[in-house]
Amino acid sequence: MISHRGEFVHPLCNALTVRLSGTMPKPWARMQETTVFIYRIVLSQTEWQKASEARHAAGDLWTRLVKIHRFCRRRHWHWPTETQLKAHFKRRIPLHSQTVQALIEKFCATIDGVRTKRQNGDKHARYPWRFRRYFNPIFKGQALKIQGAHLFLPLGRGRDPIRVRLPEAIPTGRMVLAELGYGEIYLTITREMPDPITIPSDKAGGLDIGVIHLGMISDGKEALAVSGRGLRSVKQGRAKALAELQKKRRRTKPGSRRRKRLNRAQHRVSQKVERVTRNALHHAANQIVAFCLAYGITLLYVGDLGTLNHKKRHRRSRRTNQDVGALEFGRWETYLAYKLKRYGIRLVKISEAYTSQTCPHCGHLNKVAGRTYRCRACHYQAHRDGVGAVNILNKGMHGAIRPGELLVPPRITYRRPVPLKRTLRRSPAEPREIAGGINGGKSGGSLPGSHDPRRNHGGFPRISAL
């Protein structure tokens, strides 16, 4: 799926890579967890052919849905309902009937989502408009068949199913959905969750989510900052690499071998960055959870980013906007929420208004520039994101920020989400440095992966793209 910024974003990864059915339908029912697992697949030439055709047919269907919807909308007609669309496309698409239905359902869900967003005042929300040559066909669980090490994706009566070799270790649970991507398969698996392990304490923590630091968490005594710089540079690198490829691509003829090779290269870059991002966000979330467990936090206040993405858009610089969008905070939050839920830690969203500006010491409002917070009234100095974290905690506990109650801990541990890998490191011989807190504190400790947050370890993944 192409996002409104024209980036390649997989539709499932972007929104629901991990989701929880939050409400328990029956009191005796256990909590269920639905996870999407992504595997790279290798297909033989014939299977690849079939997969390609199925993805093409799905793209065709999607394009026709977009056209129908656009046609009706421009004329102010009633939009066809899901039932009408299903009846219309029945037996007209060379795909399994349930695949066709699933795609129509997905299209209708997208439209409903956009409509709700627009009604809520987000004028930038756009109805599906792009014509798709390929689209990922969706296979519903009832139609999926597993035989030995193979998964069979049905293509409807009279057509051979696509045979995909499954990876050796597949998580236990019920396979409810499979989606066929470009050399990848997305398996949605539901499983029952054990009851969350609850910690007998009622300690609270504050979490500030940002770009430089994906998360700064504090309980008022200790603080942990999970760096986001590496991730940001990967994302920026992707934009650069894709732009370069696009430039080369423009000079090629459609259908030419060179064009095809460049298309594949584009996919490779996107998919690689997607994997790196997903991995980093999972690890970052794990570190936040580990901090909560280590210090017995059972209630975590987090600044609500819901308002940040749309309404404040015009107030931010273009660069900041790119950061905010590109890092996909929604996804990061989703990962956090489900991982915390496993340990019975409650995540409470509170408005983050003024939490970054208010002085935790005297309550004065300061404009913040740079990475250090400096109060003009009382000359208090602290790490900027640390101020955000303790203020969120303060606000969460007291309803408003009470000055002087909670100060930024002198000791801040800095960590990368994942220790740098060769692909991300500028030079392999670069020594790891140990950071110090800004408030004069000497710390960071000798934790593995500790580093100086101010050092720019930029560069982008070296992906040889022709």
Q: 404 in the Ramachandran plot: left (φ > 0), alpha (ψ -120 to 50) or beta?
A: left
User: Which lies closer to Zn ion via its Cβ, residue 313 or residue 374?
Assistant: 374
Write down the least CB distance from residue 363 to Zn ion, Å. 7
Helix, strand and coil percent figures for the chain, each rounded to 5:
40, 20, 45
Exposure class string for 268-301: b at 16+ Cβ within 10 A, else e: bbbbbbbebbbebbbbbbbbbbebbeebebbbbb
- In the DSSP assignment, the letter for residue 410 is S
Give the residue with the Cβ less far from Zn ion, 362 or 397: 362
| Most distant CA atoms of the chain, gap in Å | 78
Nearer to Zn ion, 224 or 375 (CB): 375
As a three-state string, the secondary structure of 311-375 is CCHHHCCHHHHHHHHHCCHHHHHHHHHHHHHHCCCEEEEEECCCCCCECCCCCCECCCCCCEEEC
In the complex, minimum distance from the CB of residue 365 to Zn ion, in angstroms, rounded to a whole number = 9
Shortest distance, position 357 Cβ to Zn ion, whole Å: 11
By C-beta, is 197 or 377 nearer to Zn ion?
377
* Amino acid found at 414: Y
- Residue 287 · residue 226 · CB < 8 Å: yes
Cβ nearer to Zn ion, comparing 97 with 366? 366
Considering the complex, what minimum distance in angstroms separates the CB of residue 281 from Zn ion? 34
Gyration radius of the chain over CA positions: 24
**Least distance (Å) between residue 412 CB and Zn ion:** 19
Task: Write out the DSSP string of 184-242.
Answer: EEEEEEEEEPPPPPPPS--EEEEEEE-SSEEEEEE-SS-EEEEE-HHHHHHHHHHHHHH
Identify which of residues 279 and 381 has a Cβ nearer to Zn ion in the complex.
Answer: 381
**Least gap, CB of 375 to Zn ion (angstroms):** 3
Q: For residue 23, what are the CA distances in angstroms to 14, 26, 109? A: 22, 9, 20
Closest CA to 5 of 228, 331, 327: 327
Q: How far is the CB of 302 from Zn ion (least distance, A)?
A: 24
Compute the Cα dihedral for 75, 76, 77, 80 and give only its sign: positive
- Please identify, using beta-carbon distances, which residue of 185 and 387 lies nearer to Zn ion: 387
Minimum CB–partner distance for residue 220 and Zn ion (Å): 17
Give the residue with the Cβ less far from Zn ion, 238 or 361. 361
- Is the CB of 215 or the CB of 403 nearer to Zn ion? 403
Nearer to Zn ion, 36 or 362 (CB): 362
Give residues in contact with Zn ion (CB under 5 A). 359, 361-362, 364, 375, 377-378, 380
Residues 102, 177: Cα–Cα separation, whole Å:
10
What does the alpha-carbon distance between residue 122 and residue 129 come to, in Å, rounded to a whole number? 17
Residue 379: CB minimum distance to Zn ion, A: 7
Minimal distance, residue 374 CB to Zn ion, in Å:
9
Separation of alpha carbons 90 and 86, rounded Å:
6
Q: Are the C-beta atoms of 89 and 104 separated by less than 8 Å?
A: yes
